[in-house]
Amino acid sequence: MQKIVKDLIEKILEREVVLEKPKDISLGHYATPVAFSLAKELRKNPMIIAEELASKFDDESIFESVTAIKGFVNFKLSNSFLENLVNKAIENQESFAQGDTKEETILLEYVSANPTGPLHIGHARGAIFGDTLKRVGTYLGYNVTTEYYINDAGAQMDMLGLSVALAGRDFILNEDVEYPETYYRGDYLIDIAKKLQAQHGDEIFHDESRYREMADFAKDIVMDIIGQSLADIGIEFDNFVSEASLYSSWDETKEVLESNGSLYSKDEKIYLKSTEHGDDADRVVVRDNGIPTYLAGDIIYHKDKYDRGYDRYINIWGADHHGYIKRVKAAIEFLGNKSDKLEILLSQMVQLLKGGEPYKMSKRAGNVILMSDIANEIGADALRFIFLTKKSDTHLEFDLDMLKNQDSSNPIFYINYAYARINQVFKKAQKSRNDVIINKLSGENSDALDLVYQSLLLPSVLEEAFAKRDMQKITDFLYSLAALVHRFYNEYKIVGNEKEDEYLKVLAMASVSIKTGLKLLGINAKEVM
């Protein structure tokens, strides 16, 4: 709707315009301040310019009125235009708000948690944000490929092998074990140790030379756990890339960096000149023992990404990776690629409450809050929705008990109830949504027209949410739309009213918008509650 309106206005005025939505919808559905930007150029009062611009739209049928108000040009949409959009939406519910196919290809990497244990609740935020970004982008016509980067090289894998051995000796062999200061914890390690024992016997837990073998064995099991936890909340990946598999190309990557003069040696270490691209210090890429660092792995991986030729790359990282942004972008430039093709979005941690008190971490899980535990407690839909109610780079706190409430304090219940309520009304009226398409929108009830207009805003909400990488715009939209549905239901008799069919058509439009919006959040709207 907004695109149609904007394109027409720009065609008639022969210039680009900014469209705003007046707070008072009685003034118009859209307004543009273009007269103010023209005032200096035309040396006229903006109010006079606005009146002149408004007169250019006298013959346009999509507008009921175009008026100049305090220098703004305000556009009120016609009933016939709104009705035409509603008819198309109801007739083509599965494609409502869908965008045209676009040429841009995007590689979206997210989660990428170390394969050393199950996903915790912090991982869930980036996972849900990334998956929703993929869903919305794909629906809008972008070619989005998702990828999980498996960090299966380096010290964390050595620690994983040691942790499995310790779990086996402690919980299976019942030995007195002295634990190091840092190691991985959790019942999953005991399960892995039991499987190792079944294949290799007790002796493997005492053989330090086999720690890496144990780590690789554990990694595969952990990745299965991670994959299942993600699938349980509706998340799947197109690609998985192993960090360990990329190190074979380090020498080739290093040669490219050396040829660009981006490396130097100091104290038997090799450094990347990342300060030349805004980093606050040069970074070590090869240790004094000759082993490449974690950054070296990131450099190889991003070279591999760029070599695959996508138009844009998006990484969703935890907020603790903020310091890595400049060094990775520096490496991309040194490799001869454009770092501005890479977006790095940060995902902040989450604080959980239960009954107003901090959620207790599970010793069974290793003193972390497992994503799977929370999903089991409140359901995947509630988990997905609440994680999208704030921008990913801002702090999020929520109470699990609130998400079990059967009232408006629980946003996903409130929205689902609006959708189910509409279904209930149609059932009571013994009609389907297709039965009411032929009915006209009289325009006599301003609340009905407002509900139609708000429902038709979903396409522009989706476009803005994707462009700004802000899925909160969708959750806010759905909650507001649900509130309008509940208010309309409570204020007007629908079944048996002389305007029954018109009101049903209005509610049908709202239901299409709610169902589509929830679907793009990875949530199936509840037909009955």
| pLDDT, position 443 | 81
pLDDT band at residue 107 using 50, 70 and 90 as cut-offs? very high
* 22 pLDDT tier (thresholds 50, 70, 90): confident
Contacts of residue 83, defined as CB under 8 A and 6 or more positions apart, other chains included, come to 440, 441
| DSSP summary character for residue 20 | B
* pLDDT tens, position by position, 255-282: 999 999 999 999 999 999 999 999 999 9
> How does residue 27 score in pLDDT terms, banded at 50, 70 and 90?
confident
Summarised one tens digit per residue, pLDDT across range 44-76 is 899 999 999 989 887 778 998 899 998 999 999
Per-residue pLDDT tens digits for 294-346? 999 999 999 999 999 999 999 999 988 898 999 999 999 999 999 999 999 99
pLDDT score for 364: 64
Instruction: Compute the mean pLDDT over every residue in the chain, rounded to the nearest whole number.
Output: 93
What count of residues does the chain have? 529
What share of the chain in percent tops pLDDT 70? 99
pLDDT exceeds 80 at position 502: yes
Secondary element (H or E) of residue 428: helix 411-429
E strands, 116-167, where? 143-150
Asked if pLDDT for residue 367 goes beyond 80, the answer is no
Q: Averaged over 346-374, what is the pLDDT?
A: 84
Report the pLDDT averaged over residues 494-511: 94
pLDDT of 99 reads 95
The predicted pLDDT at position 152 comes to 93
| Domains of the chain by start residue, with CATH | 2-77 (3.30.1360.70), 110-237+348-403 (3.40.50.620), 407-520 (1.10.730.10)
pLDDT greater than 70 at residue 365? no
Please tell me the predicted confidence (pLDDT) of residue 362: 67
In one-letter notation, the amino acid at residue 153 is A
- The per-residue pLDDT for range 411-455, each reduced to its tens digit, is 999 999 999 999 999 999 999 988 888 888 888 898 999 999 999
**Which tens digits make up the pLDDT trace of 129-173?**
999 999 999 999 999 999 999 999 888 999 999 999 999 999 999
Query: If pLDDT is split at 50, 70 and 90, which confidence band does 363 have?
Result: low
Question: What pLDDT, on the 0 to 100 scale, is given for residue 58?
Answer: 77
Confirm if 438 and 496 have CB atoms less than 8 A apart. Answer: no
- Provide the 10 A C-beta neighbour count for residue 495: 15
DSSP letter for each residue of 80-127: HHHHHHHHHHHHTGGGTTPPPP-S-EEEEE-----TTS--BHHHHHHH
pLDDT(119) > 90? yes
* pLDDT at residue 164, rounded to an integer: 97
Q: What is the pLDDT of residue 349?
A: 87
Tell me the average pLDDT across 21-35.
Answer: 88
Look at residue 440 in the predicted model and tell me its pLDDT: 87
SS (H, E, C) 366-412: CCECEHHHHHHHHCHHHHHHHHCCCCCCCCEEEECCHHHCCCCCCHH
Q: In what order do the strands lie in the sheet with 357-358?
A: 357-358, 350-354, 396-399
Q: What is the pLDDT of residue 284?
A: 96
Is the Cβ–Cβ distance between 423 and 528 less than 8 Å? yes
Going 253 to 256 to 257 to 259, the CA torsion angle's sign is positive
- Sorting pLDDT into bands at 50, 70 and 90, what band is 488? very high
Predicted pLDDT at 438: 86
Predicted structure pTM score: 0.92
DSSP H or E stretch at residue 351 = strand 350-354
pLDDT at 42: 87
Residue 21 near residue 29, CB atoms below 8 Å = yes
Cα–Cα distance list, 426 to 436, 462, 471, 478, 480 (Å)? 10, 27, 31, 21, 22
Phi first, then psi: what are they for 237, rounded to 5°?
-115, 150
The CA distance from 479 to 482, in Å, is: 5
Q: In the chain, pLDDT over 90 holds for what percent of residues?
A: 78
More confident: 368 or 68:
68
Taking only the tens place, the pLDDT of each residue in 191-218 is 999 999 999 999 999 999 999 999 999 9
Whether the CB-CB separation of 331 and 274 falls below 8 Å is answered with yes
Residue matched to tokens 């490929």: 145
pLDDT digits (tens, 9 = 90+) for 448-482: 999 999 999 999 999 999 999 999 999 999 999 99
